Amino acid sequence: MMATDLFTPSLDSLPRVFSLADLKQQMPARPEQAMELVLRWLESGVVRQVAPPRPVFIRTSIGEVQDDELRCQALLRAFPSLVMVGGSVLWRQGISNQRDAWLECCVAEQERDCNLTDVRLHWRPPAWWEAIRRAGGIAGEHCGVAMLSGEMAVADATVFTDVWMPDREQIDWQRLSTARLSQASEELRKLR
Amino acid sequence: MGSQGFSQIVEQHQLGMEAAETRIQALSEYLAVYRASQASPSGRRFYGRIRELRHDIWRLKAWSWYLSARQARPAWLAPLLVLARLLAGLVPAAPVRQRSALSARTALRLSTRSLLDRAYQALDEDIQGRLLTLRLAQRQRPATSRDEEIARLESRAALLAEAQRHDLRHSSQVAVICTVLAAVLRLRHWFGLPLPVIKTVDRT
C-alpha cells in the first residue's frame, strides 16, 4: 500500500479533468506511484475514468451535475476526433426547440465505452471526416467540440439513423439550406 | 545473445511498429478533423500545419517500415545502416525543434526524436490505461483472476520502455533512417508505385 506524504499531490491540485500523464508530471520523483494513487482515488469514488481503458479521469463530487463544458472537456481528452452530431447540434444552434437528453457525438475510435452521464458516442468511418470536409459540414464549436452544420446534422441522422433527432415539426426548416442539405446527403450516402 | 534476448528484440520491434501505427492512425484522424473543422481553409498557418502533420505521418510510416525490415532483412538494410552511422554525426542528438525555411512563419517541425518519443508515450498511456482498468477490476472482484493479463501488460510496458530508451540513445541514426525512408516512400507515392507492405502488428 502506498504511503501518502507531503510530496503526494492532492486531488484538489489537479484540474477537474486530468490524465495519468498529468499526475506523473506532478510526481516527477516517483512517477511509478501515480497509478497506485489513481487506483485509490477510483476505489474511493472521488474520480471516475472517463472512457476505460483510456487513462483520462474526471473529479467527481456528490450531487454534482456535469455541465456541458466539463463533459466536453473530458470527452475531448479521451477522444480527440470528437464531433457533435444529431439533435444535440440542432438544439445548440437554435435550429430546434427540443432539447437533447443525451449529448450525441461521433468518434473515429473503435473502443468507445464512456462513463460520463448523458453522453452517447457513435462510431463513424475515417472517410466520414473527409466527406464532412468536402461538404464544408462543420459549423463552429461548442466548448471546444466541433459541431456539424445543421444541414450536415440532418443528413447524417438520415443516412446513419443511429442518433437522436427532434420531431420534424420542432425543427426550424427555414434556417436550413436545401442545396446544402442535398450536397451533405449526397456526400454521406457514398459511405453507406 | 541468447534466444530470449533475440525474441525480446523482435518483440521490441513489434511494439515500436505498434507505437508508430497507433500514432499514424491518431495523426490521420486529427488531420481529417482539423481539415474538416476549418470552415474556410486559407492562410499559411493552416497549410503549414497540414504539411507538418503529413510530414510526421510519412516519417512514422518510414520508421514502421524500417522496423518491419529489421525482421525481414532485405538487401538495402545493411547499406542504410552504414549510411545512418556515417550521417548520424550531422544530426544533433538533443531534441531540437527545427524550423524549415518554408514553415518559418507557419508551423514548428518536430524533431524525429520528439516524434517517436510521443508515439511511444501514446502507446505507453494506452497500456497503462488498460493496466489500471484491470487492476481496478481485480480489486473490486478479486474472485476473478486477471493476474495473467496484468503480467502480460506489465511485460509489454517494460519492453516498450526499453525500446524507447534504445531509440533515444540512437536518436541521430534514427533521424537519418526516418528521413531517408520517408523520402523513398514519398517518391514511390508520387510516382504511383505501390508502397511497401509493412507486416501488420498483432494487437491481440
Look at residue B200 and tell me if it is in a domain: no
pLDDT in tens, A56-88: 999 987 767 778 899 999 999 999 889 999 999
Number of CB atoms found within 10 A of residue A22's CB: 17
**pLDDT value at residue A134:** 85
DSSP conformational letter for A96 = B
Confidence of residue B41 (pLDDT cuts 50, 70, 90): low
pLDDT, one tens digit per residue, over A166-186 is: 999 999 999 999 999 999 999
Distance (Å) from the C-alpha of residue A1 to the closest C-alpha of chain B? 13
ipTM: 0.73
CB atoms within 10 A of CB A157: 22
Q: Where are the domains of chain A?
A: 3-59, 68-189
CB B178 within 8 A of CB B112: yes
Question: Given CB atoms, is A137 within the 8 Å cutoff of chain B?
Answer: yes
In this complex, do B132 and A137 lie within 8 Å of one another by their Cβ atoms? Answer: no
Q: Which residues of chain A have a CB within 8 Å of the CB of B140?
A: 43
Structure confidence at residue B203 as a pLDDT band (50, 70, 90):
very low
Task: Give a yes or no: residue B204 inside a domain.
Answer: no
Q: Give domain status of residue B92, yes or no.
A: yes
pLDDT of residue A130: 84
pLDDT score for B107: 57
> Is A52 an interface residue toward B (CB < 8 Å)?
yes
Count of domains forming chain B: 1
Residue A5 to residue A26: CA distance in whole angstroms: 14
Question: Which range marks the domain in which residue B164 is found?
Answer: 2-190
**Chain-chain contact of A53 with B130 (C-beta, under 8 angstroms):** yes
Q: CA quadruple A42, A45, A46, A50: dihedral positive or negative?
A: positive
Is B196 in contact with B65 (CB distance < 8 Å)? Answer: yes
Chain B residues with CB under 8 Å of A106 CB are: none
Q: Which of B129, B131, B139 sits opposite A43 (nearest CB)?
A: B139
Q: Is B178 contained in some domain?
A: yes
Cβ contact, residue pair A38, B125, below 8 Å: no
Assigned domain for B203 exists? no
Work out the average pLDDT over B14-39.
Answer: 84
Overall average pLDDT of the B77-103 stretch: 74
Chain B CB within 8 Å of residue A38 CB? yes
3 state SS of B6: helix
Q: Do A127 and A144 touch, CB atoms closer than 8 A?
A: no
Establish how many alpha carbons lie within 13 A of residue A47's alpha carbon, considering only the half-sphere containing its beta carbon. Answer: 28
In a domain, B119, yes or no: yes
Q: Would you say residue B154 lies in a domain? A: yes
How many CB atoms sit inside 10 A of residue B100's CB?
14
- Interchain pair A20, B33: CB under 8 A: no
Q: Which of B29, B125, B140 sits opposite A20 (nearest CB)?
A: B125
Q: B29, A138: Cβ pair inside 8 Å? A: no
pLDDT at B160 over 80: yes
Dmax (CA) for chain B in angstroms is 61
Q: pTM for this structure? A: 0.79
Q: Can you give the pLDDT at residue B204?
A: 40
Mutate to test the interface with B, among A1, A24, A42, A128 (most CBs of B within 10 A): A42
pLDDT for position A4: 56
**Which ranges in chain A belong to alpha helices (H)?**
20-26, 34-44, 68-78, 86-92, 126-134, 150-160, 178-189
